[in-house]
Amino acid sequence: MGRPRRGVGLREAARGFRRGGPPWAPVGEAGRAARPAAREFPTGWARSGAARTTRAAFLRGVMNPLLHVSLTADAHGAEVFDTVRDTPVIIVSNHTSHLDAPLLLCSLPGWVRSRTAVTAAADYFFGSVWRGASSALAFATVPIDRSGGAPSSTPMDLLRDGWNLVIFPEGTRSRDGARGRFRLGAAYLAINAGVPVVPVGVRGAFAAMPRGRSWPVPGRPQVTVRFGRPLRPVPGEDVRTFTARLAAEVDRLCAEDATSWWDATRAALAEQPSDSPTPPAPGGRGGPPRQPTAADHADGDADGLFPAAGPALAGPALGGPRLRGGDDGANGSPSAGGAAPTAAVGEARTLGRHRPRAAARSGTGPVSISARLRGAPGTPTARWRRIWAATEPLPRSTSRSPWRR
Rule CB under 8 A: say whether 361 interacts with another protein: no
Sign, CA dihedral 70-72-77-82, equals positive
Question: With respect to another protein, which residue has the nearer C-beta, 260 or 401?
Answer: 260
Q: 89: Cβ–Cβ under 8 A, 6 or more apart, which residues? A: 81, 164, 165, 195, 196, 197, 198, 230
Question: Residue count at the site for another protein (CB under 8 A)?
Answer: 14
Among positions 301-340, residues that touch another protein (CB under 8 A) are none
Contact residue for another protein among 262, 329, 342, 403 (CB under 8 A): 262
Rule CB under 8 A: say whether 232 interacts with another protein: no
Q: Which stretch binds another protein (CB under 8 A): 23-31, 264-272, 334-342, 358-366?
A: 264-272
Rule CB under 8 A: say whether 12 interacts with another protein: no
Determine contact, residues 268/248, Cβ cutoff 8 Å: yes
Rule CB under 8 A: say whether 265 interacts with another protein: yes
Rule CB under 8 A: say whether 256 interacts with another protein: yes
User: Minimum Å distance from CB 76 to another protein?
Assistant: 5
Give exposure, 244-272, as e/b (b: 16+ Cβ within 10 Å): bbbbbbbbbbbbbbbbeeeebeebbeebb
Pairing of strands 197-203, 222-227: antiparallel
Rule CB under 8 A: say whether 35 interacts with another protein: no
Question: With respect to another protein, which residue has the nearer C-beta, 278 or 331?
Answer: 278
Contact residue for another protein among 12, 29, 79, 328 (CB under 8 A): 79
Question: With respect to another protein, which residue has the nearer C-beta, 74 or 123?
Answer: 74
Can you tell me the distance from the alpha carbon of 360 to that of 377, in angstroms, rounded to the nearest whole number?
A: 10
Burial level of 345, CB count in 10 A (0-12/13-18/19+)?
middle
Rule CB under 8 A: say whether 204 interacts with another protein: no
User: Minimum Å distance from CB 259 to another protein?
Assistant: 9
Contact residue for another protein among 48, 53, 153, 260 (CB under 8 A): 260
Contact residue for another protein among 21, 47, 51, 76 (CB under 8 A): 76
Can you tell me the distance from the alpha carbon of 223 to that of 280, in angstroms, rounded to the nearest whole number?
A: 33
Host H or E run for residue 11: helix 10-15
Rule CB under 8 A: say whether 251 interacts with another protein: no
Can you tell me the distance from the alpha carbon of 333 to that of 8, in angstroms, rounded to the nearest whole number?
A: 37
Determine contact, residues 148/336, Cβ cutoff 8 Å: yes
Residues binding another protein (CB under 8 A):
76-77, 79, 82-83, 229, 256, 260-263, 265-266, 269
